[in-house]
Structure 1
Amino acid sequence: MKHLLIICCVFISFSFYGQTFNGNWKSMGYGRMLTIKNQNYILKDYTSISCVINSKGNLSDLVENISLTKDTLLIKIGINDYYFVKTDIKICEKTKNKEKDPIYNFEVLAETFNEHYAFYDTRNINWQKMYHKYRSRVTHRTTEHELFLIIYEMMNEFNDGHLGISVPKRIEKNALKLLLKKRTQNTSSIKEINEWDLAKKVSENLLDTIKTKRNGIIRWGILKSNIGYIQINQMLGFADYGISNTNDFNTFWSKYSSKTSKKSDTEIATDEREGVESIIGEVMKDLKNTKALILDVRFNGGGNDEVSLKILSNFNEEKKQIGVKMAKYNDGYSKPVPIWIQGSTDAYIKPVYLLTSKASASATEILVLGSLCLDNFTKIGGFTEGIFSDTLNRKLPNGWEFSLSNEIYLDHLGNNYEVKGIKPDVLLYTSNSISGQFQQIVDEVNNKRDKAVLRAIELMNEK
């Protein structure tokens, strides 16, 4: 899942350091209140009924780019532009002494959805009906684990992979006990397919010699007939923290998380950019003399948009705008922010066959979206999942964290692919579920085949 680097990593240009930006600033979209006083800041999540401190600190810890034009403050974070206007709203007092009230916490979450969720119509959701359905179950006597289950069930009804809620482990544990009491025993015989294991099996089936980095986040090699193969399984985890490739999956990510926990969001973003630039540079050097490439993102659930765009720039000769993004704001949307891919002087412009599936989601879909602007790309496989929006990450008064989708992404022609996903040029996977598509791939690999790869080779031979 991709995470919006919320304004807790506000970028500040030190040449403007001082009192220029002092005051209270209200974001245009995103529901943020930013207070700057000399070298300190406080960032708050607000709605019409609440205000919760998200983060605070010293501006000297924050870097890069902030500008003021007339009464509008512009903050740039990666590919994102955030606009703020001066405000004298005083709202945080409304939250005091209500932090533990289950009704108030539910109402704050509901009001956040009401003000910021962008896809009620797209997902055919009657928000008022849903709100009353779940609000009726909350009273002042509702326990923490009961409240968690109510919110969890409501979010599931959206069928949106970018919705989530994070609570302390003890609450999850108690909620699970309550849930097991309510449910009858699950008699389903469906076996979940691990996408990480399947990705490894696919690469081993295709390649005699496999190069890999970051515990299998990326694998590459050369197929017969001099066709390059790149498998990218996440748009996150590329930073070089000296963690051995021989660690198993859980150990690798435990060590990776330990490293990132000591870093700021801006440091992590820089590490990711530098890491993917280094690795993809090595990959493209190895494969530059191939006559075509297969780029496999069938098992990639997302991560960081900038990682996707950095990868895609290796297949593009000059800077191009691939689309725009906007956040829900009042009854419309915030100012469109253009999304660009950079050009490369040694770009790979020979045929590229992009393999996708229902599991290709979030930041991975930004790569697929950008490929629509590149004439040498052909998409093969299945529809992508259709969850493009960054996650708007918020805090409730009781300290719980949750996320929702508040942005729309449009391609260079103005098309919105949320929910429906991006259709491949060659549709091979007809199942509407990830498990159904993965089962097809499993069956093929067990028979030493991979229909998507074979189709790519056929298309290349027809050129």
Structure 2
Amino acid sequence: MSLPRRALLVLLLAVGCRGEPTSPRPATLFDEVWDAFDRHYAFFDLGHIDWTALGAAYRDSVGAATDDRERARLLGAMIGRLNDYHADLATPYGVFGPPPIAYAHHFAPDLVRRGYFAEPVRSTRSGRIYFARLQDGTGYVYIGSFGGSGWGGEIDDALAGLGAVPSIVVDIRDNGGGDERIGQDVAARFYDRTRVYRVTRFRSGSGHGDFGSASSMSLSPAGARRFTGPVALVTNRFDGSSAEDFTLMMRALPHVTTVGDTTLGLGSNPRTMTLSDGWTLRVPQSMQSTPDGFVYQWRGLPPAIAVPWTAADTASGRDPYLDAALAALQRRR
């Protein structure tokens, strides 16, 4: 919680009279961070996380830190114990939170290009969407991010460029997310009718298990071009956040088969909060699930067809995820 300005002034004056540094307020800063998560974080119960115990483990070390950089590092270490890549602390010294993702990528663009395409790969105006026909006539679309704004409608250009293909592979491997609205723009071109793709509940009380009523998110067909033939959506462990929203949108469709590996498992939209010293927190405050109630935080969204990837696959120049996607599409033609 932010201290009232008057109380803050008194505190700074008192510290200054003792001859100590006046910039850090370790107890106040710690409480602001701890309280923000205690009041808003959505997954304490799901993750069996004892936030009180974590706070007790870090409070003294944060208070004993000699400068803001060390304080930020320690607070980030506490937040990092949640293992939630939507939870972090942004400071002038960097962003502090969970350790880097340690999964194997299982995606090498040069392997995708080697021997699979029947024509040169093209891109849309923004350079966000790549597309081409594969050797068997299947259309291929790659989207590596949903970042930026306003380009989702370019999927129309990609679909027009592919022409009359019997099926399409939509590949979103290594897509870290971005703006859900862009994902909606893209996915709407594959929709046949309005469908619910996600259910969300927000923290709404002091208890870690207190949530408001569930709300459903749906998507309807839109756009100048549509494709409702067989589609394979290829995912991997680096697909998180809005890429998982897009996965939810696509897996709601009966003509879409998901192939590859389970997604990262970021099942919330974070709330950004500014602390009294200007540092900012991201606190996941909602619990998202599939329409049938599967909460995918930490667990990820598993594909319908899980595919192993071995060192031999890499050495051979093959992409087993893409091979499996093409095989699945052949069965649906």
- Whether TM exceeds 0.5 here: the answer is yes
Query: Is 1:221 aligned to residue 132 of structure 2?
Result: yes
For 1:123-142, list aligned pairs within 5 A: 123-139=47-63, 142=66
Query: Is 1:352 aligned to residue 237 of structure 2?
Result: no
Q: Which moved more, 1:92-101 or 1:318-327?
A: 92-101
Report the Cα distance in structure 1 between the residues aligned to 2:145 and 2:134, rounded to whole angstroms: 22
Q: Which moved more, 1:388-397 or 1:332-341?
A: 332-341
User: Which digits, 9 at most, give the CA deviation of each residue in 1:276-298, with x for residues without a partner?
Assistant: 21x11101112241111111111
Q: Is the 8 A contact 1:199 1:233 kept in 2?
A: no
Report the Cα distance in structure 2 between the residues aligned to 1:193 and 1:340, rounded to whole angstroms: 32
Q: How many residues align?
A: 309
Following TM superposition, by how much is the alpha carbon of 1:192 offset from its aligned partner in structure 2, in angstroms? Answer: 9.6
Residue of structure 1 in register with 2:194 after alignment: 319
- The partner residue of 1:407 within 267, 283, 286 is 286
2:203 match: secondary structure: strand
User: Which digits, 9 at most, give the CA deviation of each residue in 1:399-443, with x for residues without a partner?
Assistant: 1112121111122222211111111111114xxxxxxx7xx4x86
- The partner residue of 1:457 within 306, 326, 329 is 326
- The partner residue of 1:236 within 147, 150, 167 is 147
User: Which digits, 9 at most, give the CA deviation of each residue in 1:303-332, with x for residues without a partner?
Assistant: 111111111111102222222222211032
- The partner residue of 2:272 within 393, 402, 405 is 393
1:152 match: secondary structure: helix
User: Which digits, 9 at most, give the CA deviation of each residue in 1:37-70, with x for residues without a partner?
Assistant: xxxxxxxxxxxx337xxxxxxxxxxxxxxxxxxx
Residues 394 and 443 of structure 1, relative CA distance in 2, 3 Å threshold: farther
Residue of structure 2 in register with 1:260 after alignment: none
1:412 match: secondary structure: coil
Residue of structure 1 in register with 2:99 after alignment: none
Query: Is 1:204 aligned to residue 82 of structure 2?
Result: no
Task: Report the identity percentage.
Answer: 20
User: Which digits, 9 at most, give the CA deviation of each residue in 1:14-45, with x for residues without a partner?
Assistant: xxxxxxxxxxxxxxxxxxxxxxxxxxxxxxxx
Residue of structure 2 in register with 1:372 after alignment: 251
Residues 404 and 410 of structure 1, relative CA distance in 2, 3 Å threshold: same
Query: Is 1:110 aligned to residue 27 of structure 2?
Result: no
**TM-score of the superposition, structure 2-length normalised?**
0.84
Following TM superposition, by how much is the alpha carbon of 1:459 offset from its aligned partner in structure 2, in angstroms? Answer: 2.1
User: Which digits, 9 at most, give the CA deviation of each residue in 1:63-91, with x for residues without a partner?
Assistant: xxxxxxxxxxxxxxxxxxxxxxxxxxxxx
Which structure has the highest strand share of the two?
A: 1
Residues 403 and 383 of structure 1, relative CA distance in 2, 3 Å threshold: same
Following TM superposition, by how much is the alpha carbon of 1:215 offset from its aligned partner in structure 2, in angstroms? Answer: 7.3
Q: Is the 8 A contact 1:100 1:397 kept in 2?
A: no
Following TM superposition, by how much is the alpha carbon of 1:199 offset from its aligned partner in structure 2, in angstroms? Answer: 5.0
Residues 95 and 338 of structure 1, relative CA distance in 2, 3 Å threshold: farther
Q: Is the 8 A contact 2:232 2:257 kept in 1?
A: yes
Q: Is the 8 A contact 2:129 2:158 kept in 1?
A: no
- The partner residue of 1:293 within 168, 183, 206 is 168
Residues 443 and 399 of structure 1, relative CA distance in 2, 3 Å threshold: farther
Following TM superposition, by how much is the alpha carbon of 1:373 offset from its aligned partner in structure 2, in angstroms? Answer: 1.8
User: Which digits, 9 at most, give the CA deviation of each residue in 1:189-217, with x for residues without a partner?
Assistant: xx99889xx55424422334101247753
Query: Is 1:342 aligned to residue 217 of structure 2?
Result: no
The answer for unaligned runs of 5 or more in structure 1 is 1-48, 52-91, 176-190, 238-271, 430-436
Residue of structure 1 in register with 2:181 after alignment: 306
For 1:35-114, list aligned pairs within 5 A: 49-50=1-2, 96-97=8-9, 100-114=24-38
1:137 match: secondary structure: helix
Query: Is 1:425 aligned to residue 313 of structure 2?
Result: no
Q: Is the 8 A contact 1:323 1:410 kept in 2?
A: yes
Following TM superposition, by how much is the alpha carbon of 1:105 offset from its aligned partner in structure 2, in angstroms? Answer: 0.8
**TM-score of the superposition, structure 1-length normalised?**
0.62
